[in-house]
């Protein structure tokens, strides 16, 4: 359980940034991190006082400024697709074309013999970025449900419900009742990295932990899992910041 609050921090250059304060029951230490909207997050014990927290943040101001300076920028999905017009699904990678039309509803179609996805959106929507994120999430739901079902059948596994969500930091999760949740941003990755995350969550159907047995099982599902893990780690900070402005 946690409760949230915010306070303002003035940096050395005079800029003011918000610190998201999360009070957590059972927490013993104060901890700072940088979220994927480039917000400063302070996780603290429930009974931590404001004076103690302010002193802790002030003492770590240099670290905060270094983190903010080195973090990738938060980017709109619209801008990301202009520079990297690609989406992955069902083991393939498709080029992307965005069209703003007189249509009432958003949809997507496959074009050019199935090698291109055309994202068709109403040009009169109030928030174009939010509409684009919603449509790409719909594609992600369709594509990754098919891909997860494909791998599950191939491996002789059964999973419960699959949902595609807007997780704050995780690529995926698997619950004890065998439900799988995936981050919609997986469609921005290369197909083999998307597959790695899906296989990772499918392995949790058998081993709901990160024990040696889990990693051994995952390597039978994905013999290149260590290389895929390293590449995924390299991309995470950048891609997790895409589409955050639509929140």
The CATH number linked to 213 is 3.30.2010.10
Using the 3D structure, point to which of 70, 97, 115 is the last residue of a domain: 70
| Structural domain of 225 | 77-246
Which residues make beta-bridge pairs with 87? Answer: 94
What is the bridge-based pairing of β-strands 40-45 and 31-34? antiparallel
Q: What is the pLDDT of residue 5?
A: 82
Q: What is the pLDDT of residue 3?
A: 57
CA distances from 13 to 19, 62, 65, 73, 180 (A): 17, 12, 10, 18, 44
User: How large is the C-alpha radius of gyration of the chain?
Assistant: 21
Closest to 231 measured CA to CA, from 199, 196, 206:
196
Using the 3D structure, point to which of 14, 39, 70 is the last residue of a domain: 70
% pLDDT > 90, the chain: 83
For residues 198 and 208, the answer to whether their CB atoms sit within 8 Å is no
Q: What does 45-72 look like in DSSP terms, one character per residue?
A: ETT--HHHHHHHHHHTHHHHHHHHHHSP
Same domain, 130 and 161: yes
Q: What is the pLDDT of residue 1?
A: 44
Same domain, 213 and 124: yes
Same domain, 89 and 210: yes
Same domain, 56 and 134: no
Same domain, 64 and 81: no
Tally of residues, the chain = 247
Q: What is the pLDDT of residue 246?
A: 45
Q: What is the pLDDT of residue 7?
A: 84
Same domain, 62 and 22: yes
Same domain, 57 and 104: no
Q: Report the domain count for the chain.
A: 2
The residue ranges of the chain whose pLDDT is under 70 are: 1-4, 246-247
Same domain, 178 and 230: yes
Structure token digits, residue 27: 């927490």
For residues 6 and 18, the answer to whether their CB atoms sit within 8 Å is yes
Same domain, 23 and 118: no
Q: What is the pLDDT of residue 4?
A: 67
Same domain, 211 and 154: yes
């Amino acid at each position: 359980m946690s409760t949230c609050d915010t306070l303002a921090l003035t940096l050395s250059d005079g800029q003011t940034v918000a610190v998201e304060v999360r009070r957590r029951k059972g927490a013993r230490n104060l901890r700072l991190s940088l979220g994927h909207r480039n917000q400063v997050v302070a996780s603290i014990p429930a009974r931590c006082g404001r004076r103690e927290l302010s002193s802790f943040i002030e003492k770590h101001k240099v670290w905060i400024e270094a983190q903010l300076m080195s973090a990738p920028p938060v980017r709109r999905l619209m801008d990301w697709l202009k520079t990297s017009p690609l989406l992955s699904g069902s083991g393939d990678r498709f080029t992307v074309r965005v069209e703003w039309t007189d249509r009432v509803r958003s949809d997507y179609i496959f074009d050019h013999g199935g090698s291109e996805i055309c994202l068709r959106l109403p040009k009169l929507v109030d928030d174009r970025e939010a509409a684009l994120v919603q449509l790409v999430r719909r594609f992600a739901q369709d594509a990754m449900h098919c891909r997860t079902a494909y791998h599950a059948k191939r491996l002789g596994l059964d999973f419960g419900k699959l949902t595609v969500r807007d997780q704050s930091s995780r690529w995926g999760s698997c619950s004890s009742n065998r439900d799988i949740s995936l981050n919609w941003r997986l469609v921005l990755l290369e197909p083999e990295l998307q597959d790695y995350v899906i296989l990772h969550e499918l392995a949790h159907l058998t081993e709901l932990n990160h024990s040696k047995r889990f990693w051994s099982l995952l390597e039978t599902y994905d013999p290149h899992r260590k290389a895929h893990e390293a590449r995924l780690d390299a991309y995470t900070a950048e891609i997790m910041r895409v589409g955050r402005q639509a929140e």
